[in-house]
Amino acid sequence: MTPPPARRRLLGAAGLAWLAGCSSTPAPRPAPGPGSATPLPPAPPMGEDPPPEPREFRAAWVATVANIDWPSRPGLSAAAMRSEALAILDRAQALRLNALVLQVRPACDALFTSTLEPWSEFLSGEQGRPPWAAGEPPWDPLAFWVAEAHRRAIELHAWFNPYRARHSAARSPLAASHIAQRRPQLVQKYGEQLWMDPGQPEAAAHTLAVVADVVRRYDIDAVHIDDYFYPYPVAVDGVDQPFPDDAAWAAYQLRGGTLARDDWRRAQVDALVQDLQRTVQGIKPWVRVGISPFGLPRPDQRPPGITGFSQYDKLYADVEKWFEQGWLDYLAPQLYWPIDRAGQAFPVLLDYWLAANRAQRHVWPGLFTSRVTRGEPLGPNVWAGQELLDQIAQQRARAEPGDAWPVGAGGHIHFSMVALMQDRDGLAKRLLAGPYAQAALVPATPWLPDALPGAPLLQAMGTQVALRPGPGLAVRRWAVWLRREGRWRLQVLPGSETQVDAAGADRLVASAINRVGQAGPRATLRLS
């Protein structure tokens, strides 16, 4: 997710001018479809019955490549790695985030037990070496993250890089089990990195096998891929170098292929995206598929004034096609520019992607939270925390009121968690005091199948209230409203929770949430 040099130049191309307030009129947006995100109330509501549960996707990427977020450096003890993971999870819970997007496959390596790919060197410091010392009990980082996230009522989305085979930050030799060692014909060197050749059908098949293995064995909530399809161009003396896929291109032509080369490249990536959704949901139909592409549209469809890099022409990513065809459950376009950036204005880009949402999927823009200052002077690549608060306000202005299905912009993802851990410019505190003051459920995904849970069974036991599932499948989460001194407050609890502290409350209203985020009927308990 960290921008390569060419991309950093684009992101920082224009100077930063500050928006006076947040009152600019947004560009026209599409008419709402059948239901949308319930806007968050400005204060806990009053009344006999609580309102519908607020819905907003609040997430952060946890990048493992180059040890950006976790672990802080390679070679830590297993205990230290777990301690750092728990600190991130605790901060996410304290901030009322409801999802984390954990990078589990940075470069054809694994942050989980795998027979298909070697352990990542970003864990142990040496590719292929497990993340525990001799004599220590084995552990599985991904299983640990899933269990601890769910214990905090936080979703865990597993983030895969589909084609990258070696990152420029890698230092240890390739393990014997790495794809570049076992099947070197599928891997090409490009610049300072190794890349599986997207034009080789066996390369895509290998990625899909890795994803399928994870979906089968881990209780993840979603599979997530980012913007790295074909690699960002590497320039020599100012000239972009072609990706070395001559052999794959020649084989395609020998098979009778008639597409132009760029169209052929896009067709390979299209097939991977479509097959990714089929693979994931053929195994577990409730697991979502999310894609976080580069945020600029294809050139022939851009709004007036939008300029810059074309992922359609350089990464061979036809994102608009995938979005229109519904080959994903959420789109998280990386809108990594300020609100008033000439050529890449945040609200103009957000409105573009909302208007392109013909299949009515979730739209959760990626925010460049790591741009927030750590004390440096402000500039085109260093922002005040207020910029992120204003971007969230812009996103919320486009979350159409309605039920739990957000056809508008129903949330956002921070890149990355490190900025929130460091509370840069007081942003974490300001989020908690403002936009995140009230808990929120992840927006429902009703086009995916899962049984609707029944109303919970409630029983008062002193100041505690027992929660028991009603009829239906196992509860993923509980939405529990408590009224104290006439005001309602929402708690989102893990489905494993069996009781809630109701001290000081005179009324409790609870509902069970299934794996696709749908709420079952409510149960009400009057308390003395």
pLDDT digits (tens, 9 = 90+) for 311-331: 999 999 999 999 999 999 999
In this structure, of 29-38, 359-368, 372-381, 514-523, the range with the lowest mean pLDDT score is: 29-38
Query: Is the pLDDT confidence value at 404 over 60?
Result: no
**Helix axis angle, 385-397 relative to 346-355, nearest 10°?**
30
Q: 40 and 56 in contact (C-beta within 8 Å)?
A: yes
Q: What's the pTM value of the predicted model, to 2 decimals? A: 0.92
Task: Return phi, psi of residue 501, to 5°.
Answer: -80, 115
Query: Is the pLDDT confidence value at 37 over 70?
Result: no
More confident residue, 54 or 27: 54
- How high is the pLDDT of residue 48? 83
How far does CA 174 lie from the centroid of its chain? 28
DSSP string across 229-269: SSPPPPEETTEEPPPS-HHHHHHHHHTT--S-HHHHHHHHH
Measure the CA–CA gap between 219 and 287, rounded to whole angstroms: 9
Predicted confidence band of residue 239 (pLDDT cuts 50, 70, 90): very high
Relative to beta strand 362-363, strand 330-331 is parallel
The residue-averaged pLDDT of 346-358 equals 97
Q: Scan for tokens 């014909």, then name that residue.
A: 185
Residue 364, token pair as written in the block = 């959760």
For the domain 5-44+51-433, what is the CATH superfamily, name and number? Glycosidases (3.20.20.80)
CATH number of 457-526: 2.60.40.10
Query: Is the pLDDT confidence value at 11 over 60?
Result: no
| Number of helical (H) and strand (E) elements in the chain, helices listed first | 14, 21
Measure the CA–CA gap between 526 and 171, rounded to whole angstroms: 61
- How high is the pLDDT of residue 402? 54
Predicted confidence band of residue 408 (pLDDT cuts 50, 70, 90): confident
* Residues facing 511 on adjacent strands: 479
Query: Is the pLDDT confidence value at 473 over 90?
Result: no
Q: Where are the domains of the chain?
A: 5-44+51-433, 457-526
- How high is the pLDDT of residue 470? 85
Local structure of residue 308 (DSSP, 8 states) = S
Q: Scan for tokens 């220590």, then name that residue.
A: 136
